[in-house]
């Protein structure tokens, strides 16, 4: 009986001693901590960002901007998306500016006849980017807009390069 009591007492003292070594409210360090799973600091891995401050939170910046509302008599999905691209934001007052290596891209939301589109476009129709950017925008629309893509990516341009891309969004 005494041996069992010693084992229980020893393990209890060990747990209490280890628990006293750290402040339970100290959440510093790398990696995921807490229930929310947000990283608390930068990673040591080159090129990896473990925490983005609120100023670079693209969906939050986009949500702070007004949605551009447009109406059209077009009914075909491709033509409605083209209207969204044509009316997408082109400045920092109505879009989030995404700085690229060669050119800046402008991300905005456009409501065409009540349907919400995420629009990624260049500053002018004469400036074009590779269509792979559009397909990447469609795959990662949720990261950029906070909404799920609800259809295919439409583009304004040629088979190799375009000046804008639009994807129907499902924000419900």
- Give the per-residue pLDDT at 53: 47
CA distance 98 to 114: 26
Q: pTM to 2 decimals?
A: 0.66
Exposed/middle/buried for residue 129 (C-beta within 10 Å: 0-12, 13-18, 19+): buried
- Give the per-residue pLDDT at 150: 93
What number of residues does the chain have?
Answer: 172
Q: What is the pLDDT of residues 106-154, one digit of tens each?
A: 999 999 999 999 999 998 888 889 889 999 999 999 988 989 999 999 9
H/E/C letters for each residue in 55-94?
HHCHHHHHHHCCCEEECCCCCCHHHHHHHHHHHCCCCCCC
Instruction: Output DSSP code: residue 32.
Output: B
- Give the per-residue pLDDT at 6: 75
Place of tokens 């129709």: 125
Report CA-CA distances (Å) from 132 to 19, 102, 114, 164: 52, 14, 28, 12
- Give the per-residue pLDDT at 99: 82
- Give the per-residue pLDDT at 148: 92
Ranges in the chain, pLDDT < 70: 16-56
CA distance 122 to 81: 15
The four Cα atoms 8, 12, 18, 22 give a dihedral, to 10 degrees, of 160
- Give the per-residue pLDDT at 52: 46
């Amino acid at each position: 009986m005494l041996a069992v009591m010693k084992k229980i007492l020893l393990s209890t003292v060990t747990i209490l001693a280890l628990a006293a070594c750290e402040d339970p409210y100290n959440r510093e360090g790398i990696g995921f901590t807490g229930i929310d799973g947000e990283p608390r600091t930068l990673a040591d891995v080159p090129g990896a960002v473990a925490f983005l401050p609120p100023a670079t939170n693209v969906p939050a910046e986009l949500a702070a901007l007004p949605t551009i509302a447009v109406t059209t008599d077009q009914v075909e999905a491709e033509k409605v998306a083209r209207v969204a691209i044509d009316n997408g934001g082109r400045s920092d007052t109505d879009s989030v500016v995404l700085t690229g290596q060669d050119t800046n891209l402008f991300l905005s939301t456009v409501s065409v006849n009540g349907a919400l589109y995420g629009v990624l476009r260049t500053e002018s129709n004469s400036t074009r980017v590779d269509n792979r950017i559009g397909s990447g925008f469609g795959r990662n629309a949720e990261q950029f807009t906070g909404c799920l893509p609800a259809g295919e990516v439409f583009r304004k341009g040629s088979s190799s390069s375009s000046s804008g891309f639009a994807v129907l969004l499902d924000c419900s």
